[in-house]
Structure 1
Amino acid sequence: MADRTPSYQAIAGRLRAAIRRGDLAPGARMPSVRRLAQMEEVSAPTAEHALRLLEAGGLVVARPRSGFYVAADKLAEPLASPTVSTARPVTLTANVHALFAQARSPELVALGAASPSAEWLPDKALARSLLGANRRLSSSALAYSVPPGRLDLRGQIARRAARWGLHIAPDQIIVTHGQSQAMRLALQATCRRGDVVAIESPCYFGTLMHLRSLGLRAIEVPTHPRTGMDLAALEQILRKHRISAVVSIPTANNPLGFTMSIADKRTLVGLLDHAGVPLIEDDVYGDLSAGKPRAPACKAFDESGNVLYCTSVSKTMAPGWRIGWIAPGHRFDAVLEARVEASLAGTPLLEAGLADMFSSGDYDRHLRRFCQRIKDSVRTISSRIAATWPAGTRLCVPDDGFLLWVELPAHVDALALCHAAAGDGISVGPGAMFCPDGTRYAHHVRINCAQPTTPKLLAALDRIGILAAAQA
């Protein structure tokens, strides 16, 4: 005989159906715990369990000392970035260093740094892969892994890439110390001090830090939070300025969250190929496509070798392993030389362990769970923000990845908001750190959703809303 559905699940199912039919409108107050318990003839804990189940699914939100409410309708999207027609040096650093200093605190509610929760990483599978790799390599595990890196790993990378349309040979791949080194090598191979690089606006602060340290100037391309870089604006910039490279995160963008359409990716590759300007593609979030086929990278449409493709497993599996790779096209020799100069060798045990994670299927199994968790978390956090942050807040829920770009009312000072939140043990990424000189996005924040939506995290979101409302 089949087990009977638990009471709290049955109650949640009825309420869920009422919400979806429209019987309970967005913003409507749900029955109180006591009232729901009376209506359903169950205990108060059972009634609360049902409401919490709906909260975890993003259908309702809990407001402190007020009760549960049907999640609000989707917020308006943030506005597209403005046009900035001049190339400028990158000067920001202080906000970035402060964010990393906060991230060292284990008690922090880490909504700022774009790093997945350790609870969601495949620690047991990683341990198995290392043990297996250590047995397989024996004493050679103690030796150097000379660039371009272990062939077994490069072979696995090439096989995986072929599944989504990128056909590269293992000898076209260079293993790096994480995504950051891959991006830096790409910039070194294409640019010289004083050159101008076209970037998305807003732009990932890690890219800005590379530009600053290499003495490069940035020109910002207007970018829409839903569709990505304005290609017509980019074409105008290419006509008016001498651009040495274009840097883009076209899939699950950081910080905006958009994924460019396949048509726009093809157009971007063709436009830059015609102009003779290399595209440096950051695809570190490319594997985070929940419940659908992986989005192809721009590199999949590169027929001339003009795209330098960079990625890693830092955002999907093991941030601390520091393993990335670059497929630099016809600039392979220049990148390989720079890789050797940057660090003579890699770590064979970790490279072999990652190859085993790929070949065993453990990485794909982890991705399926990880992406579903991210999808649920993004939905819950978005609904919470919609319900508890000040009127006028704008938010674009991404199709891929785990980052939210939130535009607050214009008179909210996001930097002051982040400082106040830090005093309450909450880390938030202020929008100004995604601008070359920190002069724009003063009322924007970036939120990391790659973590469980615990009561502590939801309370932290509510606290940010209260702090923002006090300014508003």
Structure 2
Amino acid sequence: MAQSIGCIVRFIENQTVQIAMSAPFLTAPHYRRIAEMLRLTLASGALRPGDRMISARKLAEREQVSLPTALEALRCLEAEGLIVARPRSGYFVSRIATQQEAPPSHALPGPVPVTLSAVARSLFSSAETRLVPLGAALPDPTWLPGTTLQRALHAAGRRLDAHGQSYSLPPGRADLRHNIAARAARWGARFAADDVIITAGATQALRLALHAVCQPGDVVAIEQPAYFGTLLLLEDLGLKALQIPTDPTEGLLLEPLADAVQRHRPAAVLASPTVQNPLGASMPVAKKQALVALAERAGIPLIEDDVYGDLVGEGQRPPACKAFDQSGNVIYCSSLSKTLAPGWRIGWIAAGRYHTKVLQARMAGEWAGAPLLEAATSEILASGDYERHLRRLKSRVAKGVKAVIARVEAGFPPGTRVAAPAAGFLLWVALPLGVNALEVHRRALALGIGVSPGPLFSPGAELQNYLRLNCANEPTPQLLSAVDRIGEICRELAGEGSRLTKKKLSIN
């Protein structure tokens, strides 16, 4: 083993001068440069199929780059089928890149149109009965503070009287906007009540943001994988998606983003730097600062989707990107749909220097809000009830995630990979190659179980062997049994895929 790794080191050292003579290589992002060196190592014959590759951590130390950069280099080789990841073991050589092979393209994929609605319709239109809720990203209704919500509604109804049945005109109730801004100031937000516009959930906020800074046909840089609601918005607005690799731990990778910005000049960057959906990843604070600076230097607005941010940390949550925005270039979107009351549709947008455009779009579209719900939400935020509820919710979420992960590790087929999210309640599961997530969804739906298949989270044909599971549910025997049943379906499909592969090999 040590001899194999030593071969890698010696080979790459011998190749460094040769490679450095190439100008395109010098200007390539670090992860692509490292991937090319590793590819040359495989082409040299220094390693054989089945040999272990250097670990990502050692690779990062040797190349003096971040761990996500080293991981992205290894994933480039994995995408080409040159290496394969094994859970808790690392990466192993699967085949050798020969000198006769045509060199693969290492550039990031270009912008692509989004055509997801047909997939989404086919997946959700059949869900007429109540499903075991492992698919939709919503908290268990029994975990919501029902008594608090009802009490706040009654108090708001008495206070507003007949005015509670009227309209709330844009930008929304002043008391709610004040409480949102005051709470955000605790994590360093740079906006005041007058900078906030109340929306019908975060989805409307994101739509308004995109409408303010994009024209049909424009390119928007997004995470890969991305929240399918974002993809549906891009499709509806006639925008193209430019996918940026996203690390399961540290979120959006800045080197590929910088490369994509230089090559394609997107009209906006849309990301969830805190608890990304579906990965659950959160960018470190320093990288959030770097992301804000990158977007500002490029003159490209950063649209920040922060609907899960309140689920991070035991006490004070970490700052969002908006905390580092000094020029108004960050358009901040959030809501209470994932933490307090999904059906109330209370969201907001702090659009910075795009405030006037967003307010005009809000007034031209679905402009009327619900004063009773806005007043009740304001009271909950001001009273401290929301903070008390968050503490209970985060504790329950942690237990739910732990319970589902244990079942996945015990019952899913060998080769399944799952990483525990640092925060939030979404679990991103990589199934063995050959297990089709759409077929898993179809078979689970027939059993009354909802899951979200990977193809929902990409505008292309990628992520066929991924699932997203919602863990914000009481881990009852029924729910855990449903997770076990999904595991059985995956094992069945893994066995079918293995038999088909063997049959093909025997024919050849």
Answering whether residue 455 of structure 2 is matched by residue 397 of structure 1, we say no
Cα displacement (A) at 1:134: 1.0
Question: 2:166 corresponds to which letter in structure 1?
Answer: A
Q: Deviations over 1:226-284 (max 9, x none)?
A: 11111011101111112100000111110011011001100000000000000000000
Task: State the match for 1:155 in structure 2.
Answer: 178
Decide which moves more: 449-458 or 130-139.
130-139
User: Contact (CA 8 Å) 1:99, 1:427: kept in 2 or not?
Assistant: no
Task: State the match for 1:425 in structure 2.
Answer: 448
Answering whether residue 458 of structure 2 is matched by residue 416 of structure 1, we say no
Trace 1:315-330 onto structure 2 (pairs within 5 A). Answer: 315-330=338-353
Quick one: structure 1 residues 104 and 132, their matched pair in 2 at CA, closer, same or farther if it must change by over 3 Å?
farther
Q: Distance in 1 between the 2:249 and 2:439 partners? A: 27
Cα displacement (A) at 1:296: 1.1
Answering whether residue 127 of structure 2 is matched by residue 95 of structure 1, we say no
For the residue of structure 2 that corresponds to 1:287, the secondary structure is helix
Answering whether residue 468 of structure 2 is matched by residue 446 of structure 1, we say yes
Query: Aligned match of 2:129 in 105, 123, 137?
Result: 105
User: Contact (CA 8 Å) 2:127, 2:445: kept in 1 or not?
Assistant: no
Question: 2:114 corresponds to which letter in structure 1?
Answer: V
Quick one: structure 1 residues 78 and 252, their matched pair in 2 at CA, closer, same or farther if it must change by over 3 Å?
farther
For the residue of structure 2 that corresponds to 1:112, the secondary structure is coil
Query: Aligned match of 1:460 in 473, 482, 496?
Result: 482
Q: Distance in 2 between the 1:418 and 1:145 partners? A: 40
Task: State the match for 2:166 in structure 1.
Answer: 143
Q: Distance in 2 between the 1:345 and 1:424 partners? A: 40
Question: 2:348 corresponds to which letter in structure 1?
Answer: W
Cα displacement (A) at 1:77: 11
Task: State the match for 1:313 in structure 2.
Answer: 336
Task: State the match for 1:335 in structure 2.
Answer: 358
Q: Distance in 2 between the 1:78 and 1:203 partners? A: 25
Cα displacement (A) at 1:351: 0.3
Q: Deviations over 1:155-199 (max 9, x none)?
A: 000110011111311000000011110000000001000000000
Query: Aligned match of 2:392 in 365, 369, 383?
Result: 369
Q: Distance in 1 between the 2:171 and 2:365 partners? A: 12
Q: Deviations over 1:393-432 (max 9, x none)?
A: 0011111110000000011111111101111111110000
Quick one: structure 1 residues 111 and 422, their matched pair in 2 at CA, closer, same or farther if it must change by over 3 Å?
same
Question: 1:88 corresponds to which letter in structure 2?
Answer: V
Query: Aligned match of 1:293 in 288, 298, 316?
Result: 316
Unmatched tracts of structure 1, length 5 or more: 1-73
For the residue of structure 1 that corresponds to 2:221, the secondary structure is strand
Question: 1:376 corresponds to which letter in structure 2?
Answer: K
Q: Deviations over 1:61-96 (max 9, x none)?
A: xxxxxxxxxxxxx955999xx964211100112332
Aligned-residue identity in percent:
50
Trace 1:218-297 onto structure 2 (pairs within 5 A). Answer: 218-297=241-320
Quick one: structure 1 residues 147 and 345, their matched pair in 2 at CA, closer, same or farther if it must change by over 3 Å?
same
For the residue of structure 1 that corresponds to 2:309, the secondary structure is coil
Q: Distance in 1 between the 2:90 and 2:141 partners? A: 30
TM-score normalised by length of structure 1: 0.81
For the residue of structure 1 that corresponds to 2:364, the secondary structure is helix
Task: State the match for 2:4 in structure 1.
Answer: none
Q: Distance in 2 between the 1:200 and 1:193 partners? A: 20
Q: Distance in 2 between the 1:462 and 1:428 partners? A: 13
User: Contact (CA 8 Å) 1:102, 1:427: kept in 2 or not?
Assistant: no
Question: 1:296 corresponds to which letter in structure 2?
Answer: P
Cα displacement (A) at 1:333: 0.2
Task: State the match for 1:202 in structure 2.
Answer: 225
**Matched pairs, number:** 395
Task: State the match for 1:126 in structure 2.
Answer: 149
User: Contact (CA 8 Å) 2:174, 2:193: kept in 1 or not?
Assistant: yes
User: Contact (CA 8 Å) 1:374, 1:450: kept in 2 or not?
Assistant: yes
Task: State the match for 1:358 in structure 2.
Answer: 381
User: Contact (CA 8 Å) 2:228, 2:457: kept in 1 or not?
Assistant: yes
Q: CA RMSD in A?
A: 1.7
Task: State the match for 1:179 in structure 2.
Answer: 202
Question: 2:468 corresponds to which letter in structure 1?
Answer: R
Structure 1 residue ranges (4+ consecutive) displaced by more than 6 angstroms after TM superposition: none
Quick one: structure 1 residues 92 and 399, their matched pair in 2 at CA, closer, same or farther if it must change by over 3 Å?
same
Quick one: structure 1 residues 274 and 78, their matched pair in 2 at CA, closer, same or farther if it must change by over 3 Å?
farther
Trace 1:47-58 onto structure 2 (pairs within 5 A). Answer: none
Cα displacement (A) at 1:116: 1.1
Quick one: structure 1 residues 78 and 388, their matched pair in 2 at CA, closer, same or farther if it must change by over 3 Å?
farther
User: Contact (CA 8 Å) 1:431, 1:443: kept in 2 or not?
Assistant: yes
Q: Deviations over 1:352-393 (max 9, x none)?
A: 000001011111111111110001110111111111111110
User: Contact (CA 8 Å) 2:171, 2:197: kept in 1 or not?
Assistant: yes
Cα displacement (A) at 1:104: 4.7
Task: State the match for 1:469 in structure 2.
Answer: 491
Q: Distance in 2 between the 1:197 and 1:244 partners? A: 6
Unmatched tracts of structure 2, length 5 or more: 1-85, 92-105, 495-508
Q: Distance in 2 between the 1:172 and 1:78 partners? A: 48
Quick one: structure 1 residues 292 and 386, their matched pair in 2 at CA, closer, same or farther if it must change by over 3 Å?
farther
TM-score normalised by length of structure 2: 0.76
